[in-house]
Structure 1
């Protein structure tokens, strides 16, 4: 079993700070919101994006997959009562000359072996696609 650890603390009524290893992230915990920090939902979506990108980094050498770039876009739909996410949508755009079958294989591997994607898909519908950059 792997363990992960994050420590977060309130700075003031406008924000907080999270630390893991040697990294720090400013958190938007202001009730009015902040433009210079991510709120909890944006952080969750960022974790999913990082999971997908890390999955690509892990699987491309094994599949001998050639890519020139990848972008991930995510959006979440939140209901108010009770407050929760009811859907997460994603689009993965890969700059690659690989075949459609290989792109499909990459997509399946990203979803199958992602810690965050597996965890979130058990709690909320995770819908999306992977496409080639035009």
Structure 2
């Protein structure tokens, strides 16, 4: 599979990424740091999307139902060299389905996620998956 995105920047203002029919605006200056995502947050957003997409994918394969999933990701950035060092996630699956195997779901997310595996190859990624009976 091949992927392609286009991005642009206007001199010291905002920047945007164009992916298919979507446009993601991100901040590149101190004026927008409080209101727009920065590149590090977009990176973590990509990891989030990967994990949540796999929740949907594995709910079909593992035959469990859920009403929603919520994910929180926290990361530690090093200064020298500047990079992400430690990433922790907490995934909450809201479900009353007794057939939901949380351990197997986490194993599958961590084994078959494209972005997850890419990130895991260069920094520590740890997390928990919890079932919330709703």
Assess, with a 3 A threshold, how the Cα gap between structure 1 residues 81 and 32 changes in structure 2: closer, same or farther: farther
Contact 1:14 1:31 in 2 (8 A): no
Normalising to structure 2: TM-score of the pair?
0.91
Q: CA RMSD in A?
A: 1.7
SS in 1 for 2:101: helix
Aligned to 2:45: 46
1:76, 1:87 within 8 Å by CA — same for their partners in 2?
yes
d(CA) in 2 for partners of 1:101, 1:68: 12
Partner of 1:76: 75
Match of 1:93 in 2: 92
Shift of 1:99: 4.7
After superposing the two structures, state which structure 1 stretch, 47-56 or 31-40, moved more. Answer: 31-40
8 Å contact kept, 2:64–2:99:
no
Q: 2:103 aligns to what SS in structure 1?
A: helix
Question: Which 5+ residue runs of structure 1 have no aligned equivalent?
Answer: none
Does the CA contact (< 8 Å) of 2:76 and 2:85 recur in 1? Answer: yes
**Is the CA contact (8 Å cut-off) linking 1:11 and 1:17 kept in structure 2?**
no
Check conservation: 2:64, 2:100, Cα contact below 8 A.
no
1:113 aligned residue = 112
Partner of 2:19: 20
TM-score by length of 1: 0.91
Matched with 1:60 is 59
Output one character per residue of 1:10-63: Cα deviation in whole Å (capped at 9) or x when no partner. 123132011011110001111555222110110011000100010011111111
Q: Which runs of 4+ in 1 moved over 6 A?
A: none
